[in-house]
Amino acid sequence: MPNKESNRQVRLRDVLVEEKRRMWAALREDVFKKLGKEYGEQFSSPQDLEDLATLDIIEDKGLVFADMRRKELEALEDALRRLDEGTYGACVECGREIDLERLKVMPFAGSCVECKARSEGGKKPSL
């Protein structure tokens, strides 16, 4: 019998999917308008990691900032995978739930605010 997602998991999935949509829209606007409208329309609806491979081609054309976007998209894909596995939203250091507000601001955060602050020498990071 398949596991039903908790309300928290549903909210987290919504946050991740919306962030992925936002990032693809920004990428399309920034990158593809430089390459031409027809090229951008081919990727209006990215489906999987194969779409991310296309970003490698774009990077080779001198659009270095595409690499940053690609890494963020890969991190989002990884976060969605962890959500499916039931490990997303848990701090990798202490195991406690990461605050939902932190995950809304930084969807691929792996650490809670307290653990992140400790790892950065005591300075408290933003959510």
The pTM (predicted TM-score) of the whole model is 0.61
The pLDDT tens digits of the residues spanning 48-103 come to 666 667 666 655 654 666 677 788 888 888 888 989 998 899 998 999 999 989 98
Q: What is the pLDDT of residue 93?
A: 92
Residue 56: per-residue pLDDT: 61
Per-residue pLDDT at 94: 95
H/E stretch holding 105 reads: helix 100-105
Q: DSSP string covering 49-104, please?
A: HHHHHHHHHHHHTT-THHHHHHHHHHHHHHHHHHHHHT-TTB-TTT-PBPPHHHHH
pLDDT band at 28 (very low <50, low <70, confident <90, very high): confident
Task: Please give the pLDDT value at position 66.
Answer: 67
Q: How do the domains of the chain map onto residue ranges?
A: 1-88, 90-127
pLDDT digit string (tens) for 105-115?
888 888 999 99
What is the per-residue pLDDT for 41? 55
